């Protein structure tokens, strides 16, 4: 399984309507996929977090040369050497998205070669389908709070109608609209009243607050029986996370901005979160996400992987979720996104409250070459 060819495959699609979270307006979805081919013609696909710019050049101009001739079966060894090479080349900064994309492609290749799913290679499935929560509830352009409230409530009702028993919504409207934390709690209250007490509700602030504001919001969310409060604070404020988690009656979640085992160990040891959320496209692939999940389990924390990617990221996340202890949930992005919906020959869909884990080898999906060509932008 000698690696012969490594290439970045950039995909982009403009959205018909833009939407916002606490940090940014999103008007397109773009992904840098990684395609690795071995000398015997086997192919694996991975996906890197973040904009195409930078990652594409890193994969094509540096990583491809480092990987050529290596044995694709030796995933942990390649992962370790790549981290070492990039840390040295980039002065202690490791481009985590690029490592992740390569790592996912190697797991896909290794599974394809063995005729086994990545979940099997990771130790085997604990479940064949994963309970999902509908993620979305981003904000439309608006001048009035009522416009946002009506949009978010109507979206929440549509997910419950589609069979979902758990929802995650966005809070932290101050940056875009000037509406403070009391409006955020009001938005959650409106959704709670609309969907009732039997639907599990989570809230994601995309690190919108400082500690005093986060405390006020946490009190409001606890009163509304919110299951977890995600990214209340900027990801580098670990001490403040720990103080909030200690004081709050709502569980604190975070992890989509953290990468590699030492960082996950640091936040677990600090008591920063109750729920750890590594993203397979940015935490260091399946290799590092599995390590993060082991650190979480050993510390008594839950792992709910963060997912906001294409069909590749979704498939890889399901492979990891199939193996995790406890009762993890899949983050199932419900925003309009043709690259997520159409890239796999058999799209990944929910069946009521659950999403089945794909049965095929590797990451379990087959990339549709026509769709790939349609979204490719180089
Ligand atoms: Mg989030």
Whether residue 374 lies inside any domain: the answer is no
64 touches 82 (CB < 8 A):
no
Contact 204, 169 (CB under 8 A): yes
> Tens of pLDDT along 9-24?
999 999 999 999 999 9
Ligand 1 mean position, distance from CA 176 (Å):
17
Q: Beta-carbon neighbour count of residue 69 at 10 Å?
A: 10
Across the range 308-319, mean pLDDT stands at: 97
Please report whether residue 378 resides in a domain: no
Domain enclosing residue 86, as ranges: 3-120
Q: Are residues 293 and 235 in the same domain?
A: yes
290 and 182 in one domain? yes
Q: Are residues 95 and 169 in the same domain?
A: no
Residues 208 and 344 grouped into a single domain: yes
pTM of the model: 0.97
- Specify if 251 maps to a domain: yes
CA angle (263, 47, 352) in 5-degree steps = 95
Is 165 a residue whose pLDDT tops 90?
yes
144 in a structural domain: yes
Q: What is the pLDDT of residues 362-377, one digit of tens each?
A: 999 999 999 999 999 9
> Does 7 share its domain with 81?
yes
- Report the catalytic residues: 306
Query: Residue 321's pLDDT is what?
Result: 98
The answer to whether residue 225 scores a pLDDT higher than 90 is: yes
Q: How far apart are CA 173 and CA 166, in angstroms?
A: 22
Per the structure, the count of domains in the chain is: 2
Residue 334 pLDDT greater than 90, yes or no? yes
Q: Which residues contact 138 (CB under 8 A, 6 or more apart)?
A: 19, 20, 21, 26, 170, 335
**Cβ atoms within 10 A of the Cβ of 197, count?**
10
Number of C-beta neighbours around residue 62 at 10 A: 17
Pairing of strands 226-230, 200-204: parallel
Mean pLDDT, to the nearest integer, of 253-257? 98
Q: Are residues 37 and 68 in the same domain?
A: yes
Percent of the chain predicted with pLDDT > 90: 98
Instruction: Give bridge partners of residue 166 from the DSSP assignment.
Output: 200
Q: How far is the CA of 287 from the centre of ligand 1 (A)?
A: 21
Residue 279 contacts residue 307 (beta carbons within 8 Å): yes
Question: pLDDT per residue over 61-98, tens digit each?
Answer: 999 999 999 999 999 999 999 999 999 999 989 999 99
Across residues 234-251, what is the average pLDDT? Answer: 97
Last residue of a domain, one of 120, 151, 176: 120
Check the CA dihedral 305-58-207-167 and report its sign.
negative
Tally Cβ neighbours within 10 Å of residue 174.
Answer: 16
Beta carbons within 8 Å of 357's beta carbon, 6+ residues apart: 117, 119, 125, 127, 128, 129, 130, 318, 319, 321, 322, 364
* pLDDT tens profile 89-138: 999 899 999 999 999 999 999 999 999 999 999 999 999 999 999 999 99
Ligand 1 centroid from CA 207, angstroms: 9
CA angle, 80 then 82 then 87, to 5°: 100
Q: How far apart are CA 139 and CA 348, in angstroms?
A: 25
Q: Is 66 left (phi over 0), alpha (psi -120 to 50) or beta?
A: alpha
Residue 12, classed as helix, strand or coil, is: strand
Task: Report CA(336)–ligand 1 centroid distance (Å).
Answer: 17
Give the Å distance between the CA of 43 and the centre of ligand 1: 31
Task: Give which of 26, 164, 39, 49 is closest to 103, Cα–Cα.
Answer: 49
Residues contacting residue 147 through CB under 8 Å, at least 6 positions apart? 140
Same-domain pairing of 154 and 79: no
In a domain, 376, yes or no: no
Residues 155 and 111 in one domain: no
How many other C-beta atoms lie within 10 A of the C-beta of residue 238?
20
Percent helix, percent strand, percent coil in the chain, to nearest 5:
45, 20, 35
Domain co-membership, 159 together with 260: yes
Task: Output the CA 248–ligand 1 centroid distance in Å.
Answer: 19
Average pLDDT over residues 224-244: 98
**CATH number of the domain where residue 12 is located:** 3.30.390.10
Token duo for residue 46: 């991975």
pLDDT at position 31 is 96
Alpha-carbon span 348 to 309, nearest angstrom: 13
Averaged pLDDT score across all residues of the chain: 97
Grade residue 54 by pLDDT with cuts at 50, 70 and 90.
Answer: very high
Cβ-based neighbour number of residue 110 at 10 Å: 21
- Measured N-to-C along each axis, helices 75-89 and 285-298 cross at an angle, to the nearest 10 degrees, of 100
Residue 378 reports pLDDT greater than 90: no
User: How far, in Å, from the CA of 62 to the mean position of ligand 1?
Assistant: 30
Note whether 272 and 310 are same-domain residues: yes
Say if residue 139 is in the same domain as residue 238.
yes
Residue at a domain's end among 100, 120, 140? 120
How far, in Å, from the CA of 346 to the mean position of ligand 1?
A: 27
Q: What is the CATH number of the domain that holds 294?
A: 3.20.20.120
Shared domain check, 308 and 226 = yes
């Amino acid at each position: 399984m000698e690696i012969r060819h490594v290439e970045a495959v950039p995909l982009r699609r403009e959205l018909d309507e833009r939407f916002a979270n606490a940090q940014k307006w999103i008007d397109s979805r773009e992904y840098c996929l990684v395609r690795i081919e071995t000398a015997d013609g086997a192919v694996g696909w991975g996906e890197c977090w973040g904009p195409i710019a930078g990652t594409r050049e890193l994969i094509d101009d540096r990583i491809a040369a480092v990987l050529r001739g290596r044995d694709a079966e030796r995933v942990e060894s390649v992962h370790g050497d790549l981290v070492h090479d990039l840390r040295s080349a980039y002065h202690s900064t490791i481009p985590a998205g690029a490592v992740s994309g390569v790592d996912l492609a190697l797991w896909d290749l290794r599974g394809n070669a063995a005729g086994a799913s990545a979940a099997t290679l990771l130790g085997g499935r604990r479940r064949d389908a994963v309970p999902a929560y509908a993620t979305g509830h981003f904000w439309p352009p608006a001048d009035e709070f009522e416009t946002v409230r009506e949009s978010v409530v109507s979206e929440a009702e549509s997910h419950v109608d589609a069979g979902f028993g758990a929802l995650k919504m966005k809070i932290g409207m101050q940056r875009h609209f000037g509406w403070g934390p009391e409006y955020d709690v009001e938005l959650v209250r409106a959704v709670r009243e609309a969907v009732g007490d039997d639907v599990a509700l989570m809230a994601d602030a995309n690190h919108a607050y400082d500690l005093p504001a986060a405390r006020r919001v946490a009190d409001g969310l606890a009163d509304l029986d919110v299951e977890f409060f995600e990214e209340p604070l900027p990801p580098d404020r670990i001490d403040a996370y720990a103080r909030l988690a200690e004081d709050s009656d709502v569980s604190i979640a975070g992890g989509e901005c953290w990468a590699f085992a030492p960082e996950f160990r640091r936040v677990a040891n600090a008591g920063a979160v109750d729920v750890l959320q590594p993203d397979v496209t940015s935490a260091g692939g399946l290799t590092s996400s599995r390590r993060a999940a082991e650190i979480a389990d050993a510390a008594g924390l839950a792992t709910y992987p963060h997912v906001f990617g294409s069909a590749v990221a979704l498939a890889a996340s399901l492979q990891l979720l199939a193996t995790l202890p406890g009762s993890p949930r899949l983050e199932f992005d419900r925003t309009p996104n043709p690259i997520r919906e159409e890239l796999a020959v058999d799209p990944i869909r929910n069946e009521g409250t659950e999403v089945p884990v794909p049965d095929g080898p590797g990451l379990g999906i087959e990339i549709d070459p026509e769709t790939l060509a349609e979204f490719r932008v180089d």
